[in-house]
Amino acid sequence: MLKISLGELVFDVDVAGPEDGEPVLLLHGFPHNRQSWSDVSPVLHRAGLRTIAPDQRGYSPGARPAETAAYRLPALAGDAVGILDVLGIASAHVVGHDWGAVVSWYLAARSAQRVRTLTAVAFPHLDAYQHALRVDPEQQASSEYIAFLSAESTVDHFLDDGAANLDGWFRQAGEGVLREDQIARYVRTHTTPGTLRAALQWYRAGTLVENNGPLGPVSVPTTFIWSEDDPSVSRFAAERTARHVNGDYRAVRLKGVSHWQPQQVPGTIAAEILRRAGRG
């Protein structure tokens, strides 16, 4: 694991795979960390790609600013670009899951020169999502969890009684998908002092629900992977994403797969990344 400093922030970053391989930036979501890619990365390495997987802002102990405004989308995307800069990488294949996909869409729309290809998993283009929030009852219902995760009381709810509610939440959300060692890993991560509170700052910053103007179209070659059984994103939002990609676009719909795609179907995710990167 590398320690990469960006100003006063220090990020924990796993860099692995062939040294001369094309770079793949892997951005995790909530409630994960960089290890959420542990079943995907080896497949990419065998195909000759080099992976860069950071613990993002709030998850890295050395990159945990206290103010909520520090977790707005431009800052999160700036971290990703800064990590590439430190590693001397001009552009990378960018892959994001959940919140990592939100950051990835932003990079592809606003910093296209740094993005060779985009593979977004679970979360649609932000403009498609926010339009769905306004007009689609299914997406409105599916997004009710955001208010809960944004509430100040949520941290105590999860961590009281030896984090029993956090453990139970992982078990319920990941039923039939997450292995026992994965549940233990994520509980251990989020019970480390300060981690859960910082991770939930991403929600409190309001990115998902506040319309700060359109993100804009994406022109880089793009694959969007969406699961029919993912309770957080409606079909309307997923299908509308195509309207916001001007470049080559591939939509992948997974049947019988939940929101935990990198854990449940890592081979499928890896295959789609390789296909988008021209290796499949």
pLDDT in tens, 105-131: 999 999 999 999 999 999 999 999 999
Structure tokens at 177: 């998908």
pLDDT at 272 over 90: yes
Q: Does residue 280 carry a pLDDT above 80?
A: no
Domain ranges of the chain: 2-276
* Architecture field, domain 2-276: 3-Layer(aba) Sandwich (3.40)
Mean pLDDT of 192-213: 93
What is the Rg, in whole angstroms, of the alpha carbon atoms belonging to the chain?
A: 17
- Give 34-82 pLDDT, tens digit per residue: 999 999 999 999 999 999 999 999 999 999 999 999 999 999 999 999 9
211, pLDDT greater than 90: no
Averaged pLDDT score across all residues of the chain: 95
Going by pLDDT thresholds of 50, 70 and 90, the confidence category of residue 209 is very high
> For the chain, how many residues are written?
280
Amino acid at 247: G
The answer on pLDDT for 30 being more than 90 is yes
Q: Indicate whether 10 pLDDT > 80.
A: yes
Distance of CA 54 to the CA centre of its chain: 11
Whole-angstrom CA distances from 263 to 30, 36, 51, 79, 217 are 13, 7, 17, 25, 29
For residue 80, the number of C-alpha atoms closer than 13 Å in the C-beta half-sphere is 34
Q: What is the DSSP string of the chain?
A: -EEEEETTEEEEEEEES-TTSPEEEEE--TT--GGGGTTTHHHHHHTT-EEEEE--TTTSTTS--SSGGGGSHHHHHHHHHHHHHHTT-S-EEEEEETHHHHHHHHHHHH-GGGEEEEEEES---HHHHHHHHHH-HHHHHHTTHHHHHHSTTHHHHHHHHHHHHHHHHHHHHTTTTS-HHHHHHHHHHHHSTTHHHHHHHHHHTTTTT---S----B-S-EEEEEETT-TTS-HHHHHHGGGGB-S-EEEEEESS--S-HHHHSHHHHHHHHHHHTT--
**What separation in angstroms does the CA of 77 have from each of 39, 212, 246?**
24, 16, 21
pLDDT band at 228 (very low <50, low <70, confident <90, very high): very high
pLDDT, one tens digit per residue, over 150-201 is 999 999 999 999 999 999 988 888 778 888 988 898 899 999 999 999 999 9
